[in-house]
Structure 1
């Protein structure tokens, strides 16, 4: 079906702006977590019973009487509330996309994907609430990260659907390899979230060894990957012993090898076999991979500086988006000759 050009143009613009804004929300969410501001407001959706942050002495005293276990830290509270505000604004933008997709449903605008995206964002809001009410439970916080990355990817995909179809055929075999790259990167993002939410980023303080010159020091894999530990425990700053944190960190490192092999091969084949914009995608995928590896090593060697740790999340998002762009381009491209 032919789309209404004006409505299609506005849909593409809002989808692109929403994807860019979602990237900011994801990166700022990482900053909230890494700056230990996740419980800056101990309630939800307000902050100490307010929709803003209590700042006057009277309001602070009342807040601390209501939440005696959580003294007011206005800096962390504002960081947390700022994240809630911008995430809410993103939700409004996505509602706008659904409305436009509904109006243009007979002309081919992607209504089903838009509605699915809205459902995901609503669930994201629930995960944000549970992040606070369940006291930073790692399974919930990691799921919140996954939801954020999925929201970003879906918005980016919506924007890509409104662009002209690729003209060059897809090189044989690269569609399957791109799917494999997407899966290994998604798994690494989940492992990275698990590493961060269990405060295991500095379980290894050396590279390429872990600590004391050992590549594989004593580890507790079973304890490190217990997903659900019940309700009521405060997980701020972590609850695991060092061998369990070491296990999490080591698995994250080892999976980075799989990511490097699969994604590196994808980038190389795009550069070798691709045509036109496919080669540019190869540069983007390869560049994002190298950048992410350099940031990951630097985080260990420099002992987790906040700026670099936040950039690591941004790098993961950019690597994911480069693969999503590759998948869309190859999936929509004319099919090339199959391998003999």
Structure 2
């Protein structure tokens, strides 16, 4: 298992990124409340596809915990029973976590797939942690960090539940997103520790300092971006269905987000030029510049082309990949080997 550890860790990293993609799709489609409970979905391990499954009817068997929608409220079965000819309230209790009681099958299954992807990523991280014991003698840090990732994945799942219970509270959504990036960073560090390579990179203090600054700016951009997205969601909820009007009168967070994009670009342009001039050997800066250009292009498309399909997902996923590459470059830029 020792020789396969790096491959296992890379698989876990890919799956965590897939969770970010799935989460971005949930955000884009407004499916965050597709499953109003957690960890089940309307009380089912496999969610319903038709509203009839969530509607009370005669002579129907219900199991404890299953949910119906009645009078615009969620009701939860208190025990196992079969319905009679009339509705008996004694068999049901009101769902108290929140009062959101809307069923949209597309939203439900989009959110459900997101949860399945998260469970798969969690399993991959657990396998990585088990496999890390084979490296205990080589590096205890790898094992400890691997189990830290398992803990963080569990914490991330709990955060996901609190996001649902809060009916998509903006602050909790932001923390949920930032936590995903922290998990990415720790797994990248584990991969770097597990397979150290003799670096052909030239250490340059200024380069590494600006790298840290650019990473911080990217993180700030992600946070500002979630706030802009929340503003857009509020426009949609208020009944503004015309995409051309969503950012016609934006909050100040939008202007900060747009301004910060120039700071991120200039910081990384400095890194690109310094790397090229001093021949430092950081080839990944080329990918950073390409991702930045694509990120800016998707942002321009959302504003001037009024949110073309998929642009929001692409924008968030590109930012997440950019963060990962920048963090890995910081690991490469260390003066001493890991």
1: CA distance, partners of 2:50 / 2:264: 50
User: How far has the Cα of 1:244 moved from its partner?
Assistant: 8.7
Q: Please report the TM-score for the alignment, with normalisation by the length of structure 1.
A: 0.79
Quick check: 1:194 aligned with 2:227? yes
CA RMSD between the two structures: 2.5
2:290 aligns with 287
Within 5 Å, give how 1:69-88 maps onto structure 2: 69-88=100-119
More strand per residue: 2
2:74 aligns with 67
Quick check: 1:39 aligned with 2:29? no
Q: Deviations over 1:278-308 (max 9, x none)?
A: 1x22211211111111111111111112311
2: CA distance, partners of 1:237 / 1:102: 49
- 8 Å Cα contact 2:25/2:313 also seen in 1: yes
Aligned residue among 184, 189, 210 for 1:157: 189
- 8 Å Cα contact 2:9/2:128 also seen in 1: yes
Distance 1:252 1:96, change over 3 A: same
1: CA distance, partners of 2:188 / 2:237: 33
User: How far has the Cα of 1:246 moved from its partner?
Assistant: 2.0
User: How far has the Cα of 1:57 moved from its partner?
Assistant: 5.7
Query: Which structure ranks higher in relative contact order (CA pairs < 8 Å, sequence separation ≥ 6)?
Result: 1
Aligned residue among 125, 132, 135 for 1:104: 135
- 8 Å Cα contact 2:162/2:172 also seen in 1: yes
1:264 aligns with 269
- Which range moves more in the overlay, 67-76 or 27-36? 67-76
1:254 aligns with 259
Unmatched tracts of structure 2, length 5 or more: 57-67, 76-99, 240-245
- 8 Å Cα contact 2:5/2:128 also seen in 1: yes
1: CA distance, partners of 2:290 / 2:114: 29
Aligned residue among 325, 330, 333 for 1:330: 333
Off by >6 Å, runs of 4+ in structure 1? 241-244
- 8 Å Cα contact 1:43/1:133 also seen in 2: yes
Unmatched tracts of structure 1, length 5 or more: 1-5, 203-235, 335-340
Which structure would you say has the larger Rg?
2
Aligned residue among 166, 169, 176 for 1:134: 166
Within 5 Å, give how 1:13-28 maps onto structure 2: 13-28=7-22
The residue matched to 1:53 in structure 2 has which SS?
coil
1: CA distance, partners of 2:12 / 2:105: 29
- 8 Å Cα contact 1:18/1:94 also seen in 2: yes
- 8 Å Cα contact 2:51/2:103 also seen in 1: no
- 8 Å Cα contact 1:98/1:115 also seen in 2: yes
Count, aligned residues = 292
User: How far has the Cα of 1:118 moved from its partner?
Assistant: 1.8
The residue matched to 1:198 in structure 2 has which SS?
helix
User: How far has the Cα of 1:238 moved from its partner?
Assistant: 7.3
2: CA distance, partners of 1:185 / 1:201: 24
- 8 Å Cα contact 1:264/1:289 also seen in 2: no
Distance 1:238 1:101, change over 3 A: farther
